[in-house]
Copies of this chain bind each other. A is one copy, B any other.
Amino acid sequence: MKFIYTGIHVADLERAIRFYTAELGMQLLFKTEIKETGGKVAWLKTKGSSQILELNWYPEGYAQGGSSGLDHLAFQVDDLNRTYAGLTKRQRGAMAPFEEGSWRLAYIKDPDGNWIELGEKMRPAKTRKNARST
């Protein structure tokens, strides 16, 4: 279980990227669209720190609250099914595991109602595995 980044809501992704890069000197690592939802995300960091900030933009009508503030805290796990089963015995507000790109994701809530993302990186396809083993 590894805490890997903090995601915050933004109402305008380009405006937020400009602020965090031009004003606070962060580096934009990548920017991508989530095909399933039409949402967009960007990752930023500063030199001398591995701390990652994710900016989360959602299309209109997306039901996850306001346009600013905390979106989620992200944890990488080795075995999503096992971690999720253990946690959901005791927590409420869960969203069952699903696939998104090369990750399997699930969500639970902390006692204050903050979303916690649990993510397991899926193994590369067999062709990738073969390329590595010989």
Contact = CB atoms under 8 A, between A and B. Distances in A.
A90 interface: yes
A46 B1 contact: yes
Interface string A57-81: 0000000000111100101000000
Contacts of A91: 23
Contact of A51 (B3, B10, B24): B3
Interface of A: 1-6, 8-12, 15-16, 19-20, 23-26, 44-53, 67-70, 73, 75, 87, 90-91, 110-114, 116
B51 A16 contact: no
A48 B15 contact: no
A75 B53 contact: no
A21 to B, nearest CB: 11
